[in-house]
């Protein structure tokens, strides 16, 4: 730093935004990124992307067959429409009990009435994994619907 005052130099060193809010990648992180790009550009990467898209389309088709709808274009994150916030919370509570990991997303992250469960698909999932996940989600939704409607609330009231 070009400054005659030691106090000003120290102040700038400790409190200036570039010093406070910047982090360089560690050598290990840089090596991981380089390896990831290597895989992306390889035949293995092409095969993984193909397997991933196959799994995405399979999940979406099985969700439709099970009577569930989803948002958006095909991607590795499938956003399953859940109806009301109350129903979605009950579904979300049931999923870990049944053995499925999926994330609930509700207001303010999404508009009110557009609550969803996020399912994340990987190339390494088997067709059996996908079928089981859909069955578990369907079961959780059925159980939650019974529980929710027992208190006199309609379970489905979703925004498109």
Domain boundaries, the chain: 25-149
pLDDT reported for residue 102: 95
Task: Say which residue, 150 or 154, is predicted with more confidence.
Answer: 150
Q: pTM for the full model?
A: 0.75
CA nearest to 118, candidates 157, 65, 76: 76
Peptide bond into 108 cis (omega under 30): yes
Judging by DSSP bridges, how do beta strands 116-120 and 77-81 pair with one another?
Answer: antiparallel
pLDDT band per the 50, 70, 90 thresholds, residue 135: very high
CB atoms within 10 A of CB 105: 16
- Tokens matching residue 135: 């069955």
Q: What average pLDDT is seen over the chain?
A: 88
Kindly report the length of the chain. 160
In CATH, the number for domain 25-149 is: 3.90.1150.10
pLDDT at 113 over 70: yes
- The alpha-helical segments, DSSP class H, found in the chain are 6-15, 17-20, 27-40, 43-65, 85-98, 127-149
pLDDT tens per residue across span 55-105: 999 999 999 999 999 998 999 999 999 988 989 999 999 999 999 999 999
CA atoms within 13 A on the CB side of 35: 6
Please state, as a whole number, how many other Cβ atoms lie within 10 Å of the Cβ of residue 149: 13
Token readout for 69 is: 């709808």
Rg value, the chain, Cα: 23
């Amino acid at each position: 730093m070009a400054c005659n005052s030691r106090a000003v130099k120290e102040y700038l060193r400790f409190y200036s935004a570039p010093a406070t809010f910047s982090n360089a990648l560690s050598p290990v992180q840089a090596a991981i990124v380089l390896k990831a790009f290597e895989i992306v550009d390889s035949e293995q990467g092409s095969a993984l992307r193909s397997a991933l898209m196959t799994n995405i389309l399979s999940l979406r088709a099985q969700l439709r067959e099970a009577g569930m709808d989803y948002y958006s274009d095909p991607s590795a994150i499938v956003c399953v429409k859940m109806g009301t916030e109350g129903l979605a919370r009950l579904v979300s509570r049931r999923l870990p009990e049944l053995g499925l990991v999926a994330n609930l997303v509700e207001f303010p992250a999404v508009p009110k009435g557009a609550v969803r469960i996020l399912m994340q698909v990987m190339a390494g999932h088997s067709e059996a994994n996908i079928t089981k996940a859909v069955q578990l989600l369907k079961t959780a939704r059925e159980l939650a619907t019974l529980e929710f409607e027992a208190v006199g609330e309609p379970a489905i009231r979703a925004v498109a």
